[in-house]
Structure 1
């Protein structure tokens, strides 16, 4: 659940600008890459559930390693002097969230995609599009950074490992999927629970695109697909235990 900001009834003039359209297209390209990889590496007789999970984890890894890794990069390495930003700037769409002071020991700097975008970086501009809906992603929010460090350096490699195991028909994929799905669900909760506790002050839900596409759709992908992965993995593991128990009964009867 998200709190909506007051709506003026007018749509933002930059709702479908070039950067926004390119950003949405980039997401579709990554999804297409995941599907193409499934066609290349999965056995042709793979179950539909295996194909869905392969595509999901490939897409998941690409999102983490390309987009979310770029967010971390800008949080740590892109900055501008705080003295160059006025109070009026901080209320504009160019700057949403200055970092806690002193971030990385520098009270005189502003870090994050909001700084990278000024330098013209394309991925920083992409994050500034998303930051229109969730302002925390413009700057180095400490909760978001902490979660993304785990996501980029642990969850993403594990998602690639899952794709490999699925392509090799290795049952280990089910255990790894449970681990990754649990982490994704916990990460999603820790991303939004702090916002709920402050009445979603950093979320802008004043129009359909911000609320239902950026915040609800893109974030609940990391709820429904991990839940599906857990369902499949638990079913497979339960079946394996059932076979083991059946064999144990046969041995006892003999």
Structure 2
């Protein structure tokens, strides 16, 4: 990767470079956009749980449609010839080479943010910041791409649908939240379980920023919030069934 793993206790010199700061700021901007949307589209009387989950799903959709869609774009459309890269650079793990099959049938190309960043794509440079902690995101990792195709083209539109239903006070949002939350949890497991099985060979946990901010914090957001969404949705659906059962019981008793 662009930044080699730091030795124990040593921070890499590019830990807080301009690209890193812009990347973190972009995340805060998307969170702020979700909050602003909740103020515009939800009534002041909305429950705290409704507002939290509206903000979460708006943020979730923006991350998928902007950041993760840009990862897919880089993987499919950004490439450089292998011949343009010095042999010592390839040998030093600065590039992520998918194995065992050539990506899209091209053994002579290097795809992904690693190529897009060289070409000057700002979103590809953003992904190269995250790839310092998880090297797979520098290139076209087949598991990651497969999951992101579902995330960008299915989960993101459904998250926006949830926000719309919440703004219209439609109970259907609870069913959609269960579907999206289940998908997010499964996607998170399938992202990291293959890596755990190879003893996290692509993860760099050599400093606080990489381990606790990039890998743990940003990824467990997609664990705790989906679990909370499931809790709220199941509670609402259970209450609706309880009302129906009470009505049925009253009708049978007459």
Could you say whether these structures have the same fold, taking a TM-score greater than 0.5 normalized by the shorter chain as the test? yes
Q: Which residue matches 2:96? A: 97
Map Cα deviations across residues 216-253 of structure 1 (whole Å, 9 max, x no partner). 00000000000000000000000000000000111011
CA contact (8 A) 2:6 2:207 kept: no
Superposition deviation, residue 91 in structure 1: 5.4
Q: Which residue matches 1:24? A: 24
Q: Which consecutive unaligned segments of at least 5 residues does structure 2 have?
A: none
Alignment root-mean-square deviation, CA: 1.2
Using the size of structure 2 for normalisation, the TM-score is: 0.96
For 1:35 and 1:88, locate their aligned partners in 2 and report how far apart those are by CA, in whole Å: 47
For 1:190 and 1:217, locate their aligned partners in 2 and report how far apart those are by CA, in whole Å: 17
For 2:191 and 2:6, locate their aligned partners in 1 and report how far apart those are by CA, in whole Å: 22
CA contact (8 A) 1:42 1:51 kept: yes
CA contact (8 A) 1:96 1:131 kept: no
For 1:146 and 1:91, locate their aligned partners in 2 and report how far apart those are by CA, in whole Å: 27
Residue 243 (structure 2) pairs with residue 243 (structure 1): yes
For 1:38 and 1:92, locate their aligned partners in 2 and report how far apart those are by CA, in whole Å: 47
Map Cα deviations across residues 64-110 of structure 1 (whole Å, 9 max, x no partner). 000000000000000000111223213558x3412334111111000
Q: How many pairs align?
A: 249
Q: Give 3-state SS (helix, strand or coil) of 1:80's partner.
A: strand
Q: Which consecutive unaligned segments of at least 5 residues does structure 1 have?
A: none
Using the size of structure 1 for normalisation, the TM-score is: 0.96
| 1:128-147 alignment, distance < 5 Å | 128-147=128-147
Superposition deviation, residue 7 in structure 1: 3.7
When structure 1 is superposed on structure 2, of 82-91 and 146-155 the one drifting more is 82-91
For 1:13 and 1:162, locate their aligned partners in 2 and report how far apart those are by CA, in whole Å: 42
Q: Which residue matches 2:57? A: 57
Q: Which residue matches 1:193? A: 193
For 1:6 and 1:114, locate their aligned partners in 2 and report how far apart those are by CA, in whole Å: 20
Q: Give 3-state SS (helix, strand or coil) of 1:104's partner.
A: helix
For 2:227 and 2:52, locate their aligned partners in 1 and report how far apart those are by CA, in whole Å: 13
Q: Give 3-state SS (helix, strand or coil) of 2:65's partner.
A: helix
Q: Which residue matches 1:206? A: 206
Map Cα deviations across residues 100-121 of structure 1 (whole Å, 9 max, x no partner). 3411111100000000000111
